[in-house]
Amino acid sequence: MSAPAMGTTKTAHSDVAPKKKRGPGALATAYLVIYNVVMTAGWLVIAVGLVRAYLARGSYHGLYYSIEKPLKFFQTGALLEILHCAVGIVPSSVVLTGFQVLSRVFLTWAVTHSVREVQNEDSVLLFVSAWTITEIIRYSFYTFSLLNHLPYLIKWARYTFFLVLYPMGVTGELLTVYAALPYVQKTGLYSVTLPNKYNFSFDYHTFLILTMVSYIPLFPQLYFHMMRQRKKVLCHVEEYKTESRNGELGRFDLTMVLGNHLGQFWAVAWLIRCSSHLQYTTCFLFSLSLMVPGQKLDTILGIKCNLGHSNALCSNE
């Protein structure tokens, strides 16, 4: 068997060389930038609407009506994200994205819109507030990432605030669905009973209960996916630890430390407000645990991230 020529060997090596991941094309990138800018602006409109309505009324009751239309519009617009994943211009899981988006669209239209009696529930304000903050951060993150100018503060907020906002939003969603159950059962909303010409029955009340149960296996997947992403993306905290031990704390690292503490105090203030106005004692107790010196949110969730004592944030486990 003759040896291959040098040119052939080069070609073979180049063929098996690992290929870099290619991002979306120029046209797809331009479209995604426009989409994310519009969505960021939309959720900012919702945030401003909530604040203005609260200042005008002096109460959080009935704030849903002040942002009902933009909430429906921009939350429904998130359905395009599933399409983005399906066609491959966004490298995210179609299943996880679909669960997150469809659950919110379902709650917006099939529960909150359809069962008007729940629109004054405190739980509605809870999930709307969580969605609003989350989406402003998330779409800003996507926009700056596509432009290759991502500020560290937005990156940190994207992979830190979800620790509080995701459970907060899911709690509001589940409580809202639970509050809607008696009205759905009483009115038979969206239910189909036998006999009928199609010989088909559907109990919307039971469907809502099954929807609540589905959160048990699905929400942890989304949550811990974000935990893994946080561990990977914010892994350069190790650089801060090394430099701080050597007395070389730079401006960038100081910004990171201040950002961490400001974020913790923001979360504490927000959750204390939730607990005092909405009487969510669990949220309040969780917020108190954030005040433990030298720890971050991850510690409470089982990941040791004490900057002075653990390398767990950047471990490969």
DSSP H or E run through 262: helix 251-278
How many CA atoms within 13 Å lie on the side-chain side of 276? 7
Residue of higher predicted confidence among 246 and 307: 246
Q: Are 297 and 303 in contact (CB under 8 A)?
A: no
- pLDDT bracket for residue 249 (50, 70, 90): very low
In a domain, 317, yes or no: no
Residue 127 has pLDDT above 80, yes or no: yes
pLDDT at position 292:
36
Label residue 21 by pLDDT band (50, 70, 90).
low
∠ CA 117-118-123, rounded to 5°: 160
Query: Is residue 165 in some structural domain?
Result: yes
User: Does 169 or 100 have the greater pLDDT score?
Assistant: 169
CB 163 within 8 A of CB 297: yes
| pLDDT computed for residue 135 by the predictor | 98
12-16, 109-113, 229-233, 257-261: which has the highest mean pLDDT? Answer: 109-113
The residue type at 59: S
How confident is the model over 137-150, as a mean pLDDT? 97
Here the tokens at position 222 are 């989304």
Residue range of the domain that includes 125: 26-193+202-241
- CA distances to 1, 50, 54, 61, 66 from 57, in Å: 87, 11, 5, 9, 11
Residue spans of beta strands (DSSP E) within 124-205: none
- Specify the pLDDT at position 7: 45
Gyration radius of the chain over CA positions: 24
- Domain assignment present for 213: yes
Per annotation, catalytic residue among 31, 60, 166, 183: 166
Confidence class for position 269, pLDDT limits 50, 70, 90: very low
Count of domains for the chain: 1
100: pLDDT confidence band, cut at 50, 70 and 90? confident
Residue found under tokens 């060389």: 17
Task: Specify whether the CB–CB gap between 115 and 136 falls below 8 A.
Answer: no
Q: Are 300 and 286 in contact (CB under 8 A)?
A: yes
Of 98, 53, 95, 83, the C-alpha closest to 71 is 53
pLDDT in the model for residue 4 = 44
Q: What is the pTM of this model?
A: 0.71
Structural domain contains residue 7: no
In a domain, 308, yes or no: no
Within-domain flag for 63: yes
Q: Annotated catalytic residue: which of 64, 81, 173, 204?
A: 173
The pLDDT confidence band at residue 61, using thresholds 50, 70 and 90, is confident
Active site residue 166: yes
Q: For 210-233, what is each residue's pLDDT tens digit?
A: 999 998 988 898 799 889 989 998
292 in a structural domain: no
Q: What angle is formed at CA 39 by the lines to CA 166 and CA 23, rounded to 5 degrees?
A: 90
Predicted pLDDT at 273:
47
Please indicate, yes or no, if residue 39 is contained in any of the structural domains: yes
List, for residues 250-259, the tens digit of each pLDDT value. Answer: 443 443 444 4
Hey, how many other C-beta atoms are within 10 angstroms of the C-beta on 209?
Answer: 15
Instruction: Look at residue 130 in the predicted model and tell me its pLDDT.
Output: 97
SS3 192: strand
Bridge partner residues of 90 (DSSP): none
Q: Which residue has the higher pLDDT, 288 or 56?
A: 56
Q: Is 239 a catalytic residue?
A: no
Confidence of residue 163 (pLDDT cuts 50, 70, 90): very high
Give the amino acid at 251.
R
List, as one string, the DSSP characters of 16-85.
Answer: HSPPPPP---HHHHHHHHHHHHHHHHHHHHHHHHHHHHHHHHSSSTTTHHHHHHHHHHHHHHTHHHHHHH
| Amino acid type, 232 | K
